[in-house]
Chains A and B, each alone.
Chain A
Amino acid sequence: EAAVTQSPRNKVTVTGGNVTLSCRQTNSHNYMYWYRQDTGHGLRLIHYSYGAGNLQIGDVPDGYKATRTTQEDFFLLLELASPSQTSLYFCASSDVWGNTLYFGAGTRLSVL
């Protein structure tokens, strides 16, 4: 079973704050993804990556940056957090396109 670890598990920040969400996968997967989950909207793709140094824009990228520093590590950055970014964030990985996504446990972010 693929292992995807997210940190922190919970985060509270204030409007305008700076937040970094971390994700590490230890299965040498090429693809990594950041999703946000909101009731009524389901899972929405923020950013994704094919490999170290690669970044692709998803469906809801506004207000988010991402960086893939290594094959294992993918970060999501909120430089000026807003209350609309309060959500449950999932990182996921897959080995090749079209194969199973393995999700991390999620990070619950609250922006006050």
Chain B
Amino acid sequence: GDSVTQTEGLVTLTEGLPVMLNCTYQTIYSNPFLFWYVQHLNESPRLLLKSFTDNKRTEHQGFHATLHKSSSSFHLQKSSAQLSDSALYYCAMGTQVVGQLTFGRGTRLQVYA
């Protein structure tokens, strides 16, 4: 079945260093669309960014990601981490199967001063 893999459970960084959170996916469908959701402590998840287009960079709030169907990846990046970026990040995938949005297990990003 469909799956989303986030290899890191925890990423720790010093403020100012670049961020990269990995996300890969598996699906039998040819046109998946990918999301990154962010969840700050004691809050609910909210959309950070999404992509429906292969090889097109999408950006929001300093973060960016590019859907690469050739490598089944949608890694989240930011050039310089801030303390306020500390949160739980979920990668999620949708396909033509309506209603079935598959989430990865999440990566907790902890940014230190």
Interface, chain A (partner B; CB < 8 A):
31, 33, 35, 40-45, 48, 50, 56, 58-59, 90, 97-98, 100-106
Contacts and interface: CB of A to CB of B under 8 A. Distances in A.
A48 B105 CA distance: 20
B44 A90 contact: yes
Interface of B: 9, 33, 37, 44-47, 50, 52, 90, 92, 94, 98-106
Contacts of B104: 42
8 contacts: A41-B105, A42-B90, A43-B90, A43-B103, A45-B100, A58-B100, A101-B45, A105-B44
B94 A48 contact: no
Nearest to B107: A42
A103 B45 CA distance: 6
A7 to B, nearest CB: 14
Given A43-B45, A45-B101, 16 more contacts: A40-B105, A41-B105, A42-B105, A43-B92, A43-B106, A59-B102, A97-B94, A97-B98, A97-B99, A98-B33, A98-B94, A101-B45, A101-B47, A103-B45, A104-B44, A106-B44
Contacts of B33: 98
Contacts of B50: 100
A40 B103 CA distance: 12
B101 A103 contact: no
Nearest to A44: B103
Contacts of B37: 101
Contacts of B102: 59
A90 B99 CA distance: 16
B16 to A, nearest CB: 28
A41 B3 CA distance: 12
- Nearest 5 pairs between A and B by C-beta? A103-B44, A42-B105, A43-B103, A97-B98, A42-B106
